[in-house]
Every structure is written in C-alpha cells, then in structure tokens.
Amino acid sequence: MERKVLAAASYAEQKYFLEPEFQALPESIQEEVRVICVVLAQKLGCTFLMGFNEDGELYFETVKQEDDFDFDDIGAELEIKRLQREKKELLKALELWYAVYFTEEGEKIKEELLKKAEKETGNK
C-alpha cells in the first residue's frame, strides 16, 4: 500500500518538514498541520508523521528512537485519539482536499464541475 507523507516533526532534531507536493494547501491549514506535528513530537518525544494512505485516509505515525525504552506507546495512541476528536473537522477537510486533488475520482469530479461551469457560462 502506497502512503504519502504530508508533514513530519522530529523532537530529537527539532525539525519540521512539509512535503513540497502539498504546498498548495492554504497557509492557515499548513500552520495547523505544523502545530499538530510539532506539539505531538514534543509531547511524545518522538518523530511524528501525518500522511495519506492510498485511499486518501489520513494516518498518523510515531517513530521513536531505537534506544528509547521509556516511550509510552499507549499514551501516544491516546494523544492521537484526542487529536482525532478535537480536530475532526480539519482532518475531514484535509481528506476531502486530498481526494479532490490527488485521486482519480477527484480528477473526474473536477472535470465534471468544469464542464458544468462551461455550459452555464456558455448559456449566458
């Protein structure tokens, strides 16, 4: 299954990354994604990734240091569940945006909307 990373933040390296392919996201959404990744990486003491599965569903992943035996897997899962509850609308909007711009179905929808708009403009 192919997955695309949207963004990632590393606690150990104090770095944030947004995949260039997603630069078209509105600035405010990019900022929310950055805050989510950085805050969770800091809170959990790991590298935190957000991305899209092949079907367009968002996924979250924590990557701990190999020698980090204190990493709290259960706490990390609880934080991700909290994120999913509190940012439900944002996450749904991201999935919709991805579906429209990066899937075959989205291309078909865009084509249909463009044809409809051309017909309406041509009739006026």
Mean pLDDT of 97-108: 84
pTM above 0.85? no
Q: Which structure tokens are listed for 101?
A: 């711009």
pLDDT of residue 123: 58
pLDDT of residue 89: 95
Contact call for residues 60 and 32 (beta carbons, < 8 A): no
Contact call for residues 40 and 9 (beta carbons, < 8 A): yes
Tell me the domain boundaries of the chain: 4-123
Contact call for residues 52 and 102 (beta carbons, < 8 A): yes
Tell me the C-alpha distance between 64 and 57, whole Å.
Answer: 23
Tell me the C-alpha distance between 69 and 107, whole Å.
Answer: 45
The percentage of residues in the chain with a pLDDT greater than 70, rounded to a whole number, is: 94
Mean pLDDT of 44-73: 86
